[in-house]
Amino acid sequence: MPKRSASYMDDRRRAILDAADTCLDRDGMGGISTTAICKEAGISMGALYTHFPAKDDIVFALAERRAGERRTHYAFDTKAEMCRSILALFDLWIHRTDRLRGEFELLVAKSRDREFVRVMELTETLSDLRKSLEKLVAARELPASLDTAAAAEAIEANLIGTAFSVVIGKLDVCTARTVLLVLLDSLSAADGRMCK
């Protein structure tokens, strides 16, 4: 068999992850089987194992990819960019409910599997969000007393919670966006609960 180019191998690996992403969004963690991924990607089992030695490697790579997508929304330099970025991620999740389902499935898997927790810690996005908040504190757009670690956790928890509430019909989109904006705006209050 001829040696494949690096770009071919990268493209194939990306196609496998795209297929796994589709399976996760459509069928949840239970739908991520090597058979389902091969069928979705239109490849043989041998081709799959050439790129990923085990199903867990696919799930870990998928979690890392999703974390990278969130990181792009957690990188901002101004308070206005923060609001736009967080709301853009919210909008992505509520308009792609399949995507949100995949996020929840990964969170549940993280809570059950020690090895998965270890890998997820390597792809943790909260530190990226915290660093962006620290930049805003340094630029004096947020108060110096803000506990950026607590604020990052509150933002992510509220983002996930409000998106989920919209998907299950407990909140309308306008109310959910308002809740997020109120939270983001409250970070500016020097005497807020998320202060050190």
Calpha distance 93→16 (Å, rounded): 22
pLDDT in tens, 99-157: 666 776 666 666 566 555 555 554 577 888 999 999 999 999 999 999 999 999 899 88
Distance of CA 191 to the CA centre of its chain: 30
Choosing from 34, 53, 72, the residue where a domain stops is 53
Considering the chain, what percentage of its residues have pLDDT values greater than 70? 81
pLDDT in tens, 75-99: 999 999 999 999 998 888 777 766 6
This prediction has a pTM of 0.72
Do 129 and 67 sit in the same domain of this protein?
A: yes
Terminal-residue alpha carbon distance, the chain? 61
Averaged pLDDT of the chain: 83
Do 2 and 31 sit in the same domain of this protein?
A: yes
The helix (run of H) or strand (run of E) holding residue 14 is helix 6-27
**178: pLDDT strictly greater than 60:** yes
Do 16 and 75 sit in the same domain of this protein?
A: no
Do 80 and 60 sit in the same domain of this protein?
A: yes
Do 117 and 76 sit in the same domain of this protein?
A: yes
Do 95 and 174 sit in the same domain of this protein?
A: yes
Are the CB atoms for 48 and 41 separated by under 8 Å? yes
Do 80 and 139 sit in the same domain of this protein?
A: yes
Do 166 and 76 sit in the same domain of this protein?
A: yes
Do 98 and 37 sit in the same domain of this protein?
A: no
- Count how many Cα atoms sit within 13 Å of the Cα of residue 45 in the half-sphere of its side chain: 6
If one compares 180 and 167, the residue with the highest pLDDT of the two is 180
Do 66 and 31 sit in the same domain of this protein?
A: no
Do 75 and 46 sit in the same domain of this protein?
A: no
Residue type, 108: V
Number of domains in the chain: 2
Do 141 and 192 sit in the same domain of this protein?
A: yes
Q: Which residues span the domain enclosing 14? A: 1-53
**pLDDT value of position 196:** 46
Q: Residue 86's domain is classified under what CATH number?
A: 1.10.357.10
